[in-house]
Amino acid sequence: MGRKVLLVEDEPNIVEAMGFILSRDGWSVASHANGETAMDEIRRVGPDVLVLDVMLPGRSGYEILRELRADAALAALPVLMLTARGQEKDRALAEELGATRFMTKPFSNADLRKAVNHIAGED
Amino acid sequence: METRHAAGSLTGTRIRERRLGQGRRQADLAREVGISPAYLNLIEHNRRPIAGKLLLDIARALGVEPGELSGAADAARLGLLAAAAARQPEAKAELERVGELAGRFPGWAALVAAQHQRIRALERLTATLSDRLSHDPQLAASLHEVLSTVTAIRSAVSILSEGGGLDPEWQARFLRNVAEDTARLTEAARGLAGFLESGGAEAGEHLSPQEELGAFLEARGYFLAPLEPGGWAGVEAIVAGAKSELVSAAARELAREWLSRYREDAESLPLPRFAALWQECAGDSLLLAERARVGLSRVLRRAACSGGPATRGLVICDGSGTLTTRRELPGFPVPRFGAACPRWPLFQALAQPGRPIRARLEMPGEPRQVFIGTAIADSRWPEGLGGLPVFEATMLVEADPGASDEAALAVGPGCRICPRAACPARREASILAEEA
């Protein structure tokens, strides 16, 4: 069984491209598009790495991250936060809530691979 | 006060300076304005007071503004120079010699004063735009759409351009994605450009229903002649004729409500009667309401929506304090996003329904701008005794014609763009530096 990455992102074409790139690196990729039910999906999939968009329908990525860090079983899960906003305050908020890494859209495929592998402790 | 007095007492000196500067003889100027040269001489040496018609005549004869001679312009300029110095104390401007600067180098003094005003105006504009960028949900959504689409395109193109060994099925898929996303990006970029070019929320397709109605009313100066008594069109005809402005069904519904109330106001207080009463009551809206036997809120709406230039502003809010009508008066900005200043009589009235509130209000900035705000909150009980009341507060804003040095309540447009750092009602930090 390969390493699992869960992409919580509501843009299907971004999910498809990220999924393709990461699966080529040997990742087993799952995706989920709804913020409201994301926590259930994270618990169900049990990923090794979570890629989490900030702006999601139903619930923001920040809220999901806050709940995730309060859950002992998920507190150590490496999380890569994605956002379309790149202001310092967004980065600060993501770090404060416990994001392992923060990336601003648009990003390159190389940056994505590097970030995911890095937070998985595999680079 | 001292500055004003000093400025006013030198009117004669200014007349003399202007006259000599134009190379004109005292006798010629005196003849032109119909006084004796001896009397003009006394005036020019500040030994006779001058005001009223003679001041206007001399100003006209010299081709200058009366304020230039009376010192009103100087007093305002001195105030601006002092404010400019206070904004940058590190420059150590010789504040005690500001009068000397203005007197000896009027051109430079005017330049510094004008630049100070320009800087303040630009700061306010920047703050307003920044506020819009932070709070405008339409802009945030558009930017998110653009950046997300660019991300998808960039990823797909990157995969496609790697070449060598990409499965044809995947290749077709990513090509299709790029085509889709390019179309989306075009639309998003076009929408964003339209939004920015139109000054943001002025673009019809991006307005909320309330903003659509606001733009519709603003375009007509909040005056609907067809709805005045004896007018030629009804509410439905006006709404139907404005489909290009009232784009959404929700906006048209709001317009129907607004226009129906306008018609009731107009029928209850026809303009000729309103104008006569306004004059008879010397602009006392409460007295007018008593004499006309109508509610004060109707008088306030009528006063602000009776045609002519925007000399009166109107702000209406619901029970939650949300602004539902924003007719701005120059110098009295009403925030489009976020909440307004809690010190406005509008909100004081909302807390005391049925009690009229009137206050002199001072907006931040120079020169000093004072307004009179008159407000009242009404309640309706649409569900009867068993239900809850629905509140609405209405405020009329007028430029204050009174003496400019009378005390006034310090207010602002709204916390985000108000420089009054020490305001006791402050809700959130301002993005402006504190007022000098």
Q: For residue range B375-421, list pLDDT tens digits in order.
A: 999 999 999 988 999 999 999 999 887 656 678 899 998 887 788 88
A28-32/B409-410 β-pairing:
unpaired
pLDDT-wise least confident of A82-91, B16-25, B88-97: A82-91
Which residues contact residue B422 at a Cβ distance below 8 angstroms, ignoring those fewer than 6 apart?
B434
Q: How far is A80 from chain B (nearest CA, A)?
A: 16
Q: In 3-state terms, what secondary structure has residue B106?
A: helix
From the list B147, B150, B152, which residue is nearest A17 (CB)?
B152
Which residues contact residue B5 at a Cβ distance below 8 angstroms, ignoring those fewer than 6 apart?
none
pLDDT score, position B202:
43
Q: What's the CATH number of domain B296-436, 3.40.1720, 3.30.450, 1.20.144, 3.40.50? A: 3.30.450
Of the candidates B388, B376, B324, B322, the residue with the CA atom closest to the CA atom of residue B350: B376
Helix (H) or strand (E) segment spanning residue A102: strand A101-104
What pLDDT digit, counting tens, does each position of B21-32 carry? 889 999 999 999
What pLDDT digit, counting tens, does each position of B325-348 carry? 999 888 888 887 668 999 999 999
Q: In terms of CA atoms, which chain B residue is nearest residue A18?
A: B155
With 80 as the cut, is the pLDDT of residue B321 above it?
yes
**How many CB atoms within 10 Å of residue B205?**
12
Q: Please, which residues bridge with residue A82 across strands?
A: A53, A103
pLDDT score, position B6:
44
Three-state SS for B310-326 is CCEEEEEEECCCCEEEE
Q: What average pLDDT is seen over chain B?
A: 84
Of the candidates A80, A62, A82, the residue with the CA atom closest to the CA atom of residue A70: A62
With 50 as the cut, is the pLDDT of residue B206 above it?
no
Confidence of residue B7 (pLDDT cuts 50, 70, 90): very low
Q: In 3-state terms, what secondary structure has residue A30?
A: strand
Q: In terms of CA atoms, which chain B residue is nearest residue A13?
A: B152
pLDDT score, position A87:
66
Report yes or no: A120 and A48 within 8 Å, Cβ to Cβ.
Answer: yes
With 60 as the cut, is the pLDDT of residue B8 above it?
no
Query: Which of chain A's residues have a Cβ under 8 Å away from the Cβ of B177?
Result: 13, 16-17
pLDDT score, position B50:
80
Domain span at residue A91?
4-119
With 70 as the cut, is the pLDDT of residue B87 above it?
yes
Q: B2-122 — its CATH code?
A: 1.10.260.40
Query: Rounded to 10 degrees, what is the CA torsion of A82, A85, A91, A92?
Result: -140
Report yes or no: B283 and B245 within 8 Å, Cβ to Cβ.
Answer: no
Report yes or no: B272 and B263 within 8 Å, Cβ to Cβ.
Answer: no
Q: How far is A44 from chain B (nearest CA, A)?
A: 27
Confidence of residue B113 (pLDDT cuts 50, 70, 90): confident
Q: How far is A9 from chain B (nearest CA, A)?
A: 10
pLDDT score, position A2:
74
Question: Rounded to an integer, what distance in angstroms lies between the CA atom of residue B287 and that of residue B273?
Answer: 14
Question: Rounded to an integer, what distance in angstroms lies between the CA atom of residue B153 and that of residue B176?
Answer: 11
pLDDT-wise least confident of A100-114, B265-279, B412-426: B412-426
Distance linking the first and last C-alpha atoms of chain B = 18
Among A9, A13, A80, A83, most B C-beta atoms within 10 A, so best to mutate, is A13
Report yes or no: B420 and B341 within 8 Å, Cβ to Cβ.
Answer: no
Handedness of CA B254, B257, B261, B262 (dihedral sign): positive
Question: Rounded to an integer, what distance in angstroms lies between the CA atom of residue A4 and that of residue A9?
Answer: 16
With 50 as the cut, is the pLDDT of residue B3 above it?
no
Residue B70, classified by CB atoms within 10 Å of its CB into exposed (0-12), middle (13-18) or buried (19+), is buried
Confidence of residue B280 (pLDDT cuts 50, 70, 90): very high
Q: CA B345 → CA A12, B40, B103, B206, distances in Å?
A: 51, 49, 41, 31
Give the ipTM of the model, two decimals please: 0.88
A109–B170 C-beta distance less than 8 A: no
Percent of chain B exceeding pLDDT 70 equals 88
Q: CA A61 → CA A10, A51, A64, A101, B386, distances in Å?
A: 11, 10, 5, 13, 43
With 60 as the cut, is the pLDDT of residue B434 above it?
no
Q: Report chain B residues touching chain A, CB-CB < 8 A.
A: 143-144, 147-152, 154-156, 158-159, 170, 173-174, 177, 180-181
What pLDDT digit, counting tens, does each position of A1-58 carry? 579 999 999 999 999 999 999 999 999 999 999 999 999 999 999 999 999 999 888 8
Q: Report chain A residues touching chain B, CB-CB < 8 A.
A: 11, 13-14, 16-18, 20-21, 55, 84-85, 105-109, 112
Query: Which of chain B's residues have a Cβ under 8 Å away from the Cβ of A84?
Result: 143-144, 147-148, 151
Quote the DSSP letter at residue A77.
Answer: -
Residue B396, classified by CB atoms within 10 Å of its CB into exposed (0-12), middle (13-18) or buried (19+), is buried
- Which residue, chain included where needed, has tokens 């956002």? A83
Tokens of B233: 């069109």
With 50 as the cut, is the pLDDT of residue B257 above it?
yes
Q: Would you list the domain boundaries of chain B?
A: 2-122, 137-199, 296-436
Could you tell me which residue, B70 or B434, shows the higher pLDDT? Answer: B70
Residue A107 maps to which CATH number? Answer: 3.40.50.2300
Q: In terms of CA atoms, which chain B residue is nearest residue A56?
A: B144
Count: domains in chain A: 1
B323-327/B312-318 β-pairing:
antiparallel
Of the candidates A67, A51, A50, the residue with the CA atom closest to the CA atom of residue A59: A67
A106–B156 C-beta distance less than 8 A: no
B159–A20 C-beta distance less than 8 A: yes
**How many CB atoms within 10 Å of residue B324?**
16
- Average pLDDT, integer, range B362-367: 79
Query: Which of chain B's residues have a Cβ under 8 Å away from the Cβ of A31?
Result: none
A20–B170 C-beta distance less than 8 A: yes
Is the overall model pTM greater than 0.80, yes or no?
no
Query: Which of chain B's residues have a Cβ under 8 Å away from the Cβ of A105?
Result: 147-148, 150-151
Quote the DSSP letter at residue B329.
Answer: B
- Average pLDDT, integer, range A68-91: 86
Query: Which of chain A's residues have a Cβ under 8 Å away from the Cβ of B144?
Result: 55, 84-85
